[in-house]
Structure 1
């Protein structure tokens, strides 16, 4: 790839990926260091068309996450910031609260431990008995529950669109239809080539490619140490949304990083049910019929995939059963909502989660951000990434601005911004 030896650059910071994390990182750079030239490359024709735009829109409280972890810290902070951001820009949102409901006695100790974890994370929780559950959700049945007041819902697609608009207003460039196919890292900086042959030269590269972040890391010459294994989240929609007032979750299994089938009343008044979590046969495999042999071979060729399957085969078998059997899925829902029938469930669009898996089969649970010379890689951004996107974006921006400062490419104002980003 040709490059400009004179030191001229197309931008200072180049972000790959216009999901909510990539856009938040670019936004944070422009806010912390005005005048820094920022560009975002996105392979699709618009922002937030994959993980960001294909979820249930929950603003997570942070109750599930290990105290002190990035997920816990940034979910709590991010939830408050996301509500404020939505209010500032007139984006539809609502702080609804939610119930986490135990339906079996064996779940009661886990429910109590979850309440304690929530308090450690600074989250207001209220423990409920059966009669109190009925006050919040008359049709939900459970032995006990905790009520989490700070959970809400919003339109993350609209949030991402606003971030992209704010970037354009600040002078940054967001380029769509620009799939990165080649990365050339040199002592002077980084150059990337897109599928249409365009070349973009930058001082620092930020990889927020989501479902393709490990592939982009390898293009940059780095070993990510993980492989993205895609899991499809399958949803239904309640045809009788009046059965549920707000958000209702089961007690999660701590051995698996998915929350189980839950009920979520969205900002449009509809109620999503799900997701089921099954392996996807492509990085963007939103249905069983979507198969990309090269991507599937990459998943199957990763030792961690097989070790994960052996470790969680019993849980996975249940998820597969609920994927192919609507009756089985309905039975899972009936644990929380006994009135529901198969006829009450209508198929809704699925999403795909980019789950980073280590070679030993460990599912990476927390955010994973790695930095190499002139490149920052976001290699795992699981739920609550959308909720935590604004503080996570600042964390990534701080590293990008620090890399610019190391190169001596950041002016006094930008260097001050790099120190001030938190």
Structure 2
């Protein structure tokens, strides 16, 4: 007689990553399929310690994103849902609207293109001539602008904490993943740094800055690498100069929005970020260098192809990183009254940007599947805004995979 060994699973779905996307996925799974056992492994001592907790807190409207893309669909839907979620759970938030301001004639065609894109995405956009800009922002100057009424701000860290609580999942902090053993017939076993082994039927990879490494641990080829870009911020010493949110016209060749001004829910005004290569995946300053991570970045052909194509743009970003005077000049394009002394350094963030082998910057959310696994491989801004619909999509895929086990 042959005995069949019964596997003791610790959970049905095992989520790696306790940022806002991983916690939203856990929340969506337990909402869609009550009784599903979900465990979340997060290496930090609490949730939202990296991309989620180190941004300017903007609820993006979706005005920038290609119509029909996941970013456009999820940002528009997610902005409305995020405001509703914050209101339901009494999380600090405000719908402020924002200005996108053209300061040079060469930017006017791109500004007009944003008007069309916003309307295609179903977003209310008001076009402004130069004199109308001061109706919204008395200290801001430009040739023309658009006002986007559905943009807002909130505390995404508080949102993540509420998602963790409301999900009912088993959230394990201080649980750094070192090894993943996936066998299609036996599920997934994950070993953490303290030697604990957690077994699940299905794995969900929401590891952010390390999502490509987790995919490779699982045995799946992600087809991309995370290239970390640090965004450096200042606080405005005279926050009364800015009423709300003010952005430049972005360059469509890059997934970055340029140096902008954001009045947060605490009344302070964030200025930035720029975008410079980080020397570690959690490289929040030039002094943070992890040779192994840096070597992996430099070994990826796409990293060199980005540098070759965009060296001029990158050089400007690097110069603003090392020169506060250069950063201040960028700010004064929008806010002439700002001085170098008005800029007070504050915490930086790091963007987990997926890059293909040919140097293409992945410009949409990227979710891929493997046997018993769902991998979120590109979820930078506006992922916090869009976290609720992203979480539902990840949950849908995870539950389908679970049904096949």
Q: How far apart are 1:283 and its partner, in Å?
A: 0.3
Is 1:341 the counterpart of 2:339 in the alignment? yes
Q: How far apart are 1:222 and its partner, in Å?
A: 1.0
* CA–CA distance in structure 2, aligned partners of residues 319 and 87 of structure 1: 37
**Paired residues for 1:312-391 under 5 Å:** 312-391=310-389
1:62/1:75 contact within 8 Å kept: yes
Q: How far apart are 1:268 and its partner, in Å?
A: 0.2
Q: Which residue, out of 169, 177, 181, partners 1:180? A: 177
Q: Which residue, out of 235, 245, 251, partners 1:253? A: 251
Q: How far apart are 1:8 and its partner, in Å?
A: 2.0
For residues 94-146 of structure 1, what are the alpha-carbon distances to aligned partners after superposition, in whole Å with 9 as ceiling and x for unaligned?
Answer: 00000000000110010000010000000000000111101100100000000
SS for the counterpart of 2:280 is: coil
**Paired residues for 1:3-402 under 5 Å:** 5-167=5-167, 170=168, 172-186=169-183, 187-402=185-400
SS for the counterpart of 1:272 is: strand
* CA–CA distance in structure 1, aligned partners of residues 334 and 297 of structure 2: 34
* CA–CA distance in structure 1, aligned partners of residues 266 and 380 of structure 2: 24
Unpaired stretches in structure 2, ≥5 consecutive residues: none
* CA–CA distance in structure 1, aligned partners of residues 7 and 178 of structure 2: 23
Which residue in 2 is equivalent to 1:418? none
* CA–CA distance in structure 1, aligned partners of residues 16 and 252 of structure 2: 33
* CA–CA distance in structure 1, aligned partners of residues 38 and 287 of structure 2: 38
Q: How far apart are 1:240 and its partner, in Å?
A: 0.1
* CA–CA distance in structure 1, aligned partners of residues 106 and 299 of structure 2: 38
For residues 287-329 of structure 1, what are the alpha-carbon distances to aligned partners after superposition, in whole Å with 9 as ceiling and x for unaligned?
Answer: 0000000000000010000001111110000000000000000
SS for the counterpart of 1:258 is: coil
* CA–CA distance in structure 1, aligned partners of residues 144 and 20 of structure 2: 35
* CA–CA distance in structure 2, aligned partners of residues 7 and 346 of structure 1: 56
Which residue in 2 is equivalent to 1:406? 404
* CA–CA distance in structure 1, aligned partners of residues 221 and 122 of structure 2: 37
Residues 39 and 330 of structure 1, relative CA distance in 2, 3 Å threshold: same
* CA–CA distance in structure 1, aligned partners of residues 230 and 119 of structure 2: 32
TM-score, normalising length: structure 1: 0.94
Q: How far apart are 1:7 and its partner, in Å?
A: 2.5
Q: What is the aligned residue count?
A: 401
Which residue in 2 is equivalent to 1:415? none
TM-score, normalising length: structure 2: 0.98
Q: How far apart are 1:405 and its partner, in Å?
A: 1.1
SS for the counterpart of 2:346 is: strand
Unpaired stretches in structure 1, ≥5 consecutive residues: 408-422
1:365/1:382 contact within 8 Å kept: no
* CA–CA distance in structure 2, aligned partners of residues 42 and 208 of structure 1: 10
For residues 138-187 of structure 1, what are the alpha-carbon distances to aligned partners after superposition, in whole Å with 9 as ceiling and x for unaligned?
Answer: 100000000000000000000001111112xx3x2000000010100112
